[in-house]
Amino acid sequence: MNFENKVILVTGANSGIGLSLVHQLLERGAKVVGIDLHSDTLKAMSEEALSFYDCDISSRQAVEAVVEKVLDAHQQIDGVINCAGIIQPFEKVQDLSYDKITQVMDVNFYGTLYMTKACLPHLLAQQEACIVNVSSMGGIVPVPGQGVYGASKAAVKLLTESLYGELMNTNVAVTAVFPGATNTNITKNSAVAAPQAAGDQKSMPIMDPDDVAKQIIKGAQKKKLYVHTGKDSKSMQLMYRVRPIFAVKFIARKMQSLLS
């Protein structure tokens, strides 16, 4: 897909991978609409091709309202990149509160679903359009202490794969993204205490958001269904596909010290 002069909506646009996507899409000549719960960083940017809206994507009414505002301002939507997401506290399922479970599912899964459904009729009206949904390595391999987060991202994975099948004969390309470890503020933005890192950091390097964003855009341009960023994401999805039980036990051992 060619992003030049296209209206691309990015959720989670105020920081991390989302903010990197905003910068790189602007460099490619796109008209970017940044969506976030708080858009203070976006407000500080003086880009004519950038507009931004505060929106709680866990609210269907708020999402539908902001999409209408985007249409009023731009008359079209050519792409949506669902990048917004939060993690859960590093707790076992039995210890995780129902309020936190609901919040994680509402933001990660329902937020993605609401934005996709609100934009899809308008995407189908364009000659060329895209949907890019950011899942997670945790949506492929179960991570103890992040069980509900992983479930929400696995739901995003399956939703995106279903959309790919439903839209494969249309003008709308669909991409699912599985970032590995990335240097973002997701723990802070999720109001979650960051745990001490498990395992050997040298064997699992943390990617820069700019590099992740670059791979996402490249994958969307090539209309790829799957984009795995980072050696950890690529190796874990391969391990899980070939030896799933071994992969589950491997991750469980890595996370054991965080849950004791």
> 120-138, pLDDT tens digit by residue?
999 999 999 999 999 999 9
Q: What pLDDT is stored for residue 205 in this prediction?
A: 74
0.95 exceeded by pTM: no
Catalytic residue among 53, 114, 149, 164: 149
Domain residue extents for the chain? 7-259
Residue 131 contacts residue 227 (beta carbons within 8 Å): no
State the average pLDDT over residues 195-201. Answer: 48
> 140-173, pLDDT tens digit by residue?
999 999 999 999 999 999 999 999 999 999 999 9
User: Who has greater pLDDT, 13 or 181?
Assistant: 13
Does domain 7-259 correspond to CATH entry 3.40.50.720?
yes
Q: What pLDDT is stored for residue 201 in this prediction?
A: 44
State the average pLDDT over residues 199-221. Answer: 82
Q: From start to end of the chain, where are the E strands?
A: 7-11, 31-36, 50-54, 79-82, 129-134, 172-179, 226-229
Active site residue 240: no
